[in-house]
């Protein structure tokens, strides 16, 4: 075991996969010589050379489009979009192309690419360095969308993403990069795509969350247990599309009270799908209305701190929602 943070765990997964399989390569703006704007890919160009750790022109559609072409000609590319906010120019290549190659060719051409995209609110990030854009892609059959929060799952999930024969979007919350360290296995392991993880068992309420707000939810759950004896079950979806419906529903049926949290704009977000699922499939087990927390429907987090703080559901808001649900 090695103690690693999220950023290091992602780096390790890339390094190990590149060592194990010479078709694995990374490409993107700044990923090579500079080692990535967050240093995720640091050292990879030194070890694997400028072709397998490839600096591209600043052109997102090209980055994803050329990754598609690399993959159909035998490579396993990991493309980086430096911030998720800049993914829209690549949207067509991801949604109309990568996601549909397999279906539209009746199974002849598949696209084994991984697209890494740092997302989420970070101080100073403002409108164009803080967005949570995952919902745009969670309505697209043919894509897989994962968003791990902790180092251990991130490493195993990135390996699964690289080995998966389909296009996988891999979202990394920037503020979680250095938030926490944990023991991460050094031997080869994978975490399966499509399976949620129960971080904390509980009987009273179910809370599903990912990213920064998952950390907050876990802290609040601990506090409520100590102060009120309320035991929250905290579930991390890990894969946002397709969702692990069974784990989410099992938990909702067990506790009868369901809260889903993300920091994405609330309308049409991934939590809306979870809420609809639980309302339809666990209705007779519910003892309270399904609840959700998310960002208000404004474009993104603002630059100035007070406005930024108002964007992401904080501990106080999450605590009051969990208490309200528990007491319902």
Burial class (CB in 10 A: 0-12, 13-18, 19+), 53: buried
124/165 with CB nearer other proteins: 165
Determine, following the binding rule CB under 8 A, whether residue 235 of this chain makes contact with other proteins.
no
Q: How far apart are CB 69 and other proteins at their closest, in Å?
A: 2
Binder among 11, 29, 31, 52 for other proteins (CB under 8 A)? 52
Q: Token pair of 17, please?
A: 């996969």
Q: How far apart are CB 248 and other proteins at their closest, in Å?
A: 20
With the CA atoms of 217, 179, 82 and 128 taken in that order, what torsion angle do they form, in degrees rounded to the nearest 10?
60
Q: How far apart are CB 100 and other proteins at their closest, in Å?
A: 7
Using the contact rule CB under 8 A, the part of the chain among 5-13, 66-74, 204-212, 305-313 near other proteins is 66-74
Q: Is the dihedral of CA 214, 193, 198, 296 positive or negative?
A: positive
Binder among 30, 42, 62, 323 for other proteins (CB under 8 A)? 62
Binding mask 91-120 for other proteins (x = CB under 8 A): -xx--xx--xxxxxxxxxxx-x--------
Using the contact rule CB under 8 A, the part of the chain among 64-72, 80-88, 230-238, 313-321 near other proteins is 64-72
CA distance 18 to 184: 18
Q: Is 228 a catalytic residue?
A: no
Tokens 């993959």 map to which residue? 71
* Contact in structure between 261 and 209 (CB atoms under 8 Å): yes
* Contact in structure between 110 and 145 (CB atoms under 8 Å): no
Q: How far apart are CB 163 and other proteins at their closest, in Å?
A: 7
Q: Site for other proteins (CB under 8 A): how many residues?
A: 45
110/265 with CB nearer other proteins: 110
Return the beta strands (E) in 89-167 as ranges: 114-119, 144-146
Determine, following the binding rule CB under 8 A, whether residue 134 of this chain makes contact with other proteins.
no
CA distance 182 to 242: 27
CA distance 97 to 296: 31
Residue ranges that bind other proteins, judged by CB under 8 A: 25, 51-52, 56-57, 59, 61-62, 64-75, 77, 89, 92-93, 96-97, 100-110, 112, 141-142, 144, 163-166
Residues labelled as active-site residues: 129
């Amino acid at each position: 075991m090695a103690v690693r943070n999220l950023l290091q765990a992602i780096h390790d997964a890339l390094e190990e996969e590149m060592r194990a399989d010479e078709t694995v390569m990374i490409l993107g703006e700044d990923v090579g010589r500079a080692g990535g704007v967050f240093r995720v890919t640091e050292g990879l160009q030194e070890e694997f050379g400028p072709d397998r750790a490839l600096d591209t022109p600043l052109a997102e559609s090209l980055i994803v489009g050329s990754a598609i072409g690399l993959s159909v000609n035998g490579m396993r590319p990991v493309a980086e979009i430096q911030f998720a906010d800049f993914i829209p120019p690549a949207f067509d290549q991801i949604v109309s192309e990568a996601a549909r190659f397999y279906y539209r060719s009746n199974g002849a051409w598949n696209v084994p690419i991984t697209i890494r995209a740092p997302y989420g609110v970070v101080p100073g990030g403002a409108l164009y360095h803080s967005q949570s854009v995952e919902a745009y892609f969670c309505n697209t059959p043919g894509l897989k969308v994962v968003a791990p929060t902790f180092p251990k799952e991130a490493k195993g999930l990135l390996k699964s993403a690289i080995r998966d024969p389909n296009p996988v979007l891999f979202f990394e919350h920037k503020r979680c990069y250095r938030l926490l360290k944990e023991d991460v296995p050094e031997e080869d392991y994978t975490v399966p795509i499509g399976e949620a993880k129960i971080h904390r068992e509980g009987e009273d309420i179910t809370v599903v969350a990912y990213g920064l707000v998952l950390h907050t939810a876990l802290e609040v759950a601990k506090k409520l247990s100590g102060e009120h004896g309320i035991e929250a079950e905290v579930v991390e979806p890990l894969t946002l599309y397709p969702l692990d419906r069974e784990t989410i529903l099992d938990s909702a049926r067990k506790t009868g009270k369901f809260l889903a949290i993300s920091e994405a704009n609330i309308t049409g977000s991934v939590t809306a799908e979870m809420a609809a699922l639980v309302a339809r499939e666990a209705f007779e087990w519910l003892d309270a209305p399904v609840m959700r927390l998310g960002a208000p429907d404004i474009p993104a987090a603002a630059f100035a701190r007070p406005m930024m703080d108002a964007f992401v559901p904080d501990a106080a808001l999450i605590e009051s929602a969990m208490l309200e649900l528990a007491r319902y």
